[in-house]
Structure 1
Amino acid sequence: MGTITKIQPDCQNTSLTKEWSLEGLLQKGKRFFPVPRVSAVAGGQSLEGTLEQYDRNTTPLVIEDWHKHVGWLGQKFNLEWFREHGQKDIAVRNVHDWSDHTVPLEEFTKYCRSAPHFVIPGETVRWYGKDAQCPADWDQWLHKSGVIPSRLLPDDSRNCLTNLPKSAAVETLMCYLGIGDTFTPCHKDLCASSGHNLMCYTENDGSSFWFMTKGSDALEVAKYFRTLKQELDHEMHVVTIEELARAPFDVYVTQQKLGDLVLVPPRSCHQVVNYGGITIKTSWSRMTLNSLAVALHHELPMYQRVCRRETYRIKSTIYHTLHRFRVELEKISTIGYPQFRRRLDVTKRTRMFT
């Protein structure tokens, strides 16, 4: 059937980023476009309108300038602060052989500051810190400061993952620490969820290059990967610039810098490559009603085909979400026009899962 059975990415194809620039990359493909951007400090109406439009389409978006916001966490978004207040150990991945290790956070930070910013000949070790627990103060700032729009937050009621009981709760809020030429292979976020990635600290001009597709192009991307004798949902292929340039779909490119919040639409295929000095990114996921429907009808059958865990327990989330709707409806004692409209809306939404 031509299915790829590799157990680690083809790391030899990792692009060296030393000569990269956003302007240069955009010129390498006829279907390369910059990711749309909006400023976090440009005014509430502008941002709110852009977010409403983002929710209606499947194109990636960057909200920039959060570090210029008066409510930015400031000195707490700092590597030393993270080291003192975070976990003592961190999970790291060596991108040269895809081996995973756990090392003291202090040792990892010393390594990041002493390692070359770019791969050098004969190099065998390049660590990428992943899935680190978000410090409590950062978590509190995200949820309580009122800086990031509530509709984007993990605890917003529109995030269906919040309907799960505590015993089944899924933690998606994590931190990632990297240096130049560390990367994440091309992938989609789990179970058609919406991704959010905030660059909260950098050193020595550290940044990250993102290569992204529209969520609506997921099937086309999967077909293209098979022509490369790869399986997109194995998340094992580090796609090259040349392969992206030949792709039969649009590719959106951006350079994520300090204060940039990258919004990843459901089913958007994306690859992230770190550049230069140290970066710390805070990442989380949300699951909307539309995401649940897409996951049920499209992602779960695909996961079964490639023998992959679903992680977010979609059917359980649907059950608890519908249970919440039922409880809300029972609380409506009198049906006025607004409540009637709400009932119709809930009824319409439940049909998404049949």
Structure 2
Amino acid sequence: MAFDYHIKAKFVPISPGFDLHTLVQCTENFDYVRRISKDKLNSRSIGNIEALVKSVVVLGGKPLVIEGWGPSLPSALFSSEWLEENLGSKEETVWDIPNEVNTPMTIGHYLRSMKTLTNQFTPTNYMESRNQRLYLKDIDCPEAWADHLKNIIPKFVYYLNDCVEYSNDENSTPCALNNFRQNSYNSIAAPAGDLMSSLPPEMRASNMMCYIGHDGTYTAAHREMCATIGHNIMIEASADNDDEREGSSIWFMTESNERSVVREYFSAVLGHDVEIEKHFAQVNAWKNAPFKVWVVEQKVGDLIIIPPLAPHQVWNRGTRTIKAAWNRTTVDTLELALKEALFSSRMVCRDEQYRCKAIVFYSLQKYYKILKQNDTEENSYQHERTKQLWDDFKRLFSLYQDVIISEMFSLKLPKEKNVEMLPHNSGVLCSYCRCDIFNRFLTCRFCNSDDSGESSDTYDICMDCYAMGRSCKCISNLSWVEQWEWKFLADCYELWRNFIVRFYSGTEILKSFQPLEVVRINHGKKSIAQICQEQLKRRPWKKTNLTEDHKPYSVHTKSKAVGESRQRTLKERRELKAHRSNREVPKPANVKRYRCHVCRRYELNWKMAFCSTCNLAFCYSTLWHEFDLMPQAIMAENDWHCPRCLKICSCKTCQENLTRIPLEVKGTILGHNTKKVADHRSVESLVDFSRSKLVWMYFDPSNPQQSIRRKLSKDEVVSEITQTHEHESLANENEDANFLTPDGMSRLESRSMKNIDPFLRDLSTST
């Protein structure tokens, strides 16, 4: 059960008459996003424009607006009339924001309803919760629109672009640049602007999207998926006339470099996680935030480029706004994804649509062919673009090295037998976290039936999820599956490594790019595949889910009647499974219990981590909630030293020793009920990640940027919730009262814990 007893900031809409200019002028931490005119870029080379975007957005982590595209968007094509005439009968799903449900509706019906939907909101009633907010979002961009945008927008920032062609002269300007129509020159090797183009067409994610919204619709605070670079251009909006209100969108944006502060602020103060696109932060929250807030009022012709991993949110104004949006994957974003973003997505079970590891592999294949062809061209390596391609090739190879090392089996354990082979283009997703699985994973064919006993998909779990204790109810006795021949992956590694070493030569390159076996030995930690091997032997096989209504999948029984197969005895099913896998059913694991040094609870030995020095036992739940240690991080250590030996233990006994300094928790982690997303057969056997690592922030009204943190135990929170029923209800939620006074704080604590933001209640909600 999710530990959901924490304060959550409520949703406060923005008034139709909201004055953005005054807000930015009067708020210290607000500033407008830097704008660059498209006309000014006409006199610059494409290489210079690309360098500008990378410097500001990717490396600097700040958003950027390229304005002035309006004249290049003909109204005969980019209009609601064209959309209704050509696609009006097409049925899409409209997102009902307040009710969080999708509603089927044709595009034409939605467009005709936008005036009525907009007229709901007035300066006096915009706070009413009964107002409808219907957002036509995440629909495929019309092909005619996408083709036109491809012709006018610089290729290196456009969706799914391949290697851009450049003149041999880096300072030259492409022909007809005032419309950004890039004619071909003498082609030289250059990096792709979007590495998604490296994937085979059937493996690419379709993310050229269109968003149509009316006044009061919004996109909640979120980050771009898989740390990609976001692009959003407003292509049409309603004008200010008698029948319609002028359309625009207000963006509240942050910097990539401040993402940790932003996430902590949202979690600890607002009670929401930016990894889940669910909460639209009220203006007062942004005004009092301890970080820079970049603001944009987006109008027709404004192209906004969004930094990777930077949280942002959007509010639509006026009768109608129509935007086109896409994402790009680069080497920089892949590094962020594999080292940070995918872990965060895995925790909340957010789909990985961009297949990051596969992009690394296929990009290396593609770049290797391009660079090898350039071997025959004299002086080709003197071009800056080719040098950049080599640099990207090396960085991609380093990522591939990390991927393949993580999938290597143990050098000490017996070789795995009966590993099933499955073609990689099958598109296997983890049944728990929904991530894309590049090569090796675990599968359970005992849990292949639904509640009615009918055959369903096998249960596939990625190695990261299994290491952290996620699996089906069987917990153990899972089988290995791989999607590539290991020899092929290893041969690719050596081929690309030798190619790099031959080109650069030198001792330093040899040290940085070593043979696979040497890298594995020098890695110093266990690979995630080795961890899974060890845990499969350590964890018990739970056979309780093998009821008469659940049979293991087998090609020998698929043709039999369902009624007959349901009556199989448990013994027959075990024999059937053993026959299929050609391996013995594992013996039950040792069920000896140990007491956790910190929480003092007894747990089974496979749920405990044992110190290599003092041999004390710590349960994985305590290590995560008290010391920020994930189970797989502990399991990866060959010699793990416990918090007590490191003198950071927070238990009462250790704190009596003045030489020990307890570890301070890095930040707030809100629990999430992943059962809503994960496969219904899933369990968490080591740590209940739905529980919050709750840190509550109290603020000094005279200096809201400073905070004092204290942990709230579950009992304290529940106690405060119970006390709320003993107090009278407070004033209306729209009341402009100061709750940060001593008296006000006591009143605040007596109110229901849900949908209240104590830090924000002192300011006008109407802004």
Q: Identify whether the pair has TM-score above 0.5, normalized to the shorter chain.
A: yes
Match of 1:55 in 2: 54
Match of 2:133 in 1: 126
SS of the residue 2:364 aligns to: helix
Report the CA distance between 1:46 and its aligned residue: 5.6
**C-alpha spacing 1:46/1:333, structure 2 compared with 1 (3 Å):** closer
| Mean CA deviation greater in 45-54 or 179-188 | 45-54
**Within 1, Cα distance between the matches of 2:392 and 2:130?**
56
**Within 1, Cα distance between the matches of 2:219 and 2:210?**
14
**C-alpha spacing 1:330/1:253, structure 2 compared with 1 (3 Å):** same
**Within 2, Cα distance between the matches of 1:337 and 1:175?**
44
**Within 2, Cα distance between the matches of 1:335 and 1:76?**
44
1:213 counterpart = 2:254: yes
2:391 to 332, 345, 348: 345
Letter in 2 for 1:54: V
Match of 1:167 in 2: 202
**C-alpha spacing 1:125/1:46, structure 2 compared with 1 (3 Å):** same
SS of the residue 2:112 aligns to: helix
Contact 1:73 1:141 in 2 (8 A): no
List per-residue Cα deviations over 1:163-200 (Å, max 9, x = no partner).
11111111111111001110011001111111111111
Match of 1:243 in 2: 285
Report the CA distance between 1:142 and its aligned residue: 1.5
**Within 2, Cα distance between the matches of 1:164 and 1:3?**
40
Counting only pairs closer than 5 Å after superposition, residues 78-227 of structure 1 correspond to structure 2 as: 78-86=79-87, 88-117=90-119, 118=121, 120=125, 121=128, 123-143=130-150, 145=151, 147-157=152-162, 158=192, 159-203=194-238, 204-227=245-268
Report the CA distance between 1:161 and its aligned residue: 0.5
List per-residue Cα deviations over 1:38-81 (Å, max 9, x = no partner).
11123413695565223122110111111134xx3331100010
**Within 2, Cα distance between the matches of 1:51 and 1:58?**
15
SS of the residue 1:42 aligns to: helix
Contact 1:4 1:230 in 2 (8 A): no
More strand by share: 1
SS of the residue 1:331 aligns to: helix
Report the CA distance between 1:272 and its aligned residue: 0.2
| Mean CA deviation greater in 122-131 or 276-285 | 122-131
Letter in 2 for 1:209: I
Letter in 2 for 1:99: V
Letter in 2 for 1:206: G
**C-alpha spacing 1:278/1:328, structure 2 compared with 1 (3 Å):** same
TM-score by length of 1: 0.90
RMSD between aligned residues: 2.5
Counting only pairs closer than 5 Å after superposition, residues 246-325 of structure 1 correspond to structure 2 as: 246-325=288-367
Contact 1:66 1:260 in 2 (8 A): yes
Contact 2:138 2:211 in 1 (8 A): yes
Report the CA distance between 1:271 and its aligned residue: 0.3
SS of the residue 2:39 aligns to: coil
Contact 1:142 1:148 in 2 (8 A): yes
Report the CA distance between 1:332 and its aligned residue: 3.2
**C-alpha spacing 1:347/1:196, structure 2 compared with 1 (3 Å):** closer
Structure 2 unaligned regions, length at least 5: 163-191, 239-244, 403-767
Contact 1:172 1:285 in 2 (8 A): yes
Match of 2:18 in 1: 20
**Within 1, Cα distance between the matches of 2:368 and 2:40?**
40
Question: Looking at both structures, which has the greater relative contact order when contacts are Cα pairs under 8 Å and sequence separation is at least 6?
Answer: 1
Report the CA distance between 1:338 and its aligned residue: 3.5
SS of the residue 1:90 aligns to: strand
Contact 2:117 2:132 in 1 (8 A): no
SS of the residue 2:249 aligns to: strand
**Within 2, Cα distance between the matches of 1:2 and 1:248?**
29
Report the CA distance between 1:85 and its aligned residue: 1.9
**Within 2, Cα distance between the matches of 1:312 and 1:31?**
34
List per-residue Cα deviations over 1:122-148 (Å, max 9, x = no partner).
6342211111221121111122x2x21
Letter in 1 for 2:104: T
Counting only pairs closer than 5 Å after superposition, residues 2-13 of structure 1 correspond to structure 2 as: 13=11
SS of the residue 1:172 aligns to: coil
**Within 2, Cα distance between the matches of 1:315 and 1:271?**
28
| Mean CA deviation greater in 18-27 or 253-262 | 18-27
| Mean CA deviation greater in 79-88 or 249-258 | 79-88
Letter in 1 for 2:36: V
| Mean CA deviation greater in 164-173 or 88-97 | 88-97
**Within 1, Cα distance between the matches of 2:114 and 2:222?**
25
List per-residue Cα deviations over 1:236-277 (Å, max 9, x = no partner).
221111111221111100100111111111112110000111
Match of 1:31 in 2: 29
SS of the residue 1:249 aligns to: coil
Contact 2:331 2:392 in 1 (8 A): no
SS of the residue 2:304 aligns to: strand
Letter in 2 for 1:238: F
Report the CA distance between 1:339 and its aligned residue: 2.5
**Within 2, Cα distance between the matches of 1:168 and 1:160?**
12
**Within 1, Cα distance between the matches of 2:298 and 2:145?**
19
**Within 1, Cα distance between the matches of 2:135 and 2:219?**
9
Letter in 2 for 1:25: L
Letter in 2 for 1:61: L
Letter in 2 for 1:279: T
List per-residue Cα deviations over 1:207-252 (Å, max 9, x = no partner).
0000001122112211111212221102222111111122111110
Contact 2:249 2:317 in 1 (8 A): yes
Report the CA distance between 1:2 and its aligned residue: 9.0
Identity %: 28
**C-alpha spacing 1:165/1:43, structure 2 compared with 1 (3 Å):** closer
1:67 to 67, 70, 76: 70
**Within 2, Cα distance between the matches of 1:142 and 1:21?**
32
**Within 2, Cα distance between the matches of 1:268 and 1:99?**
27
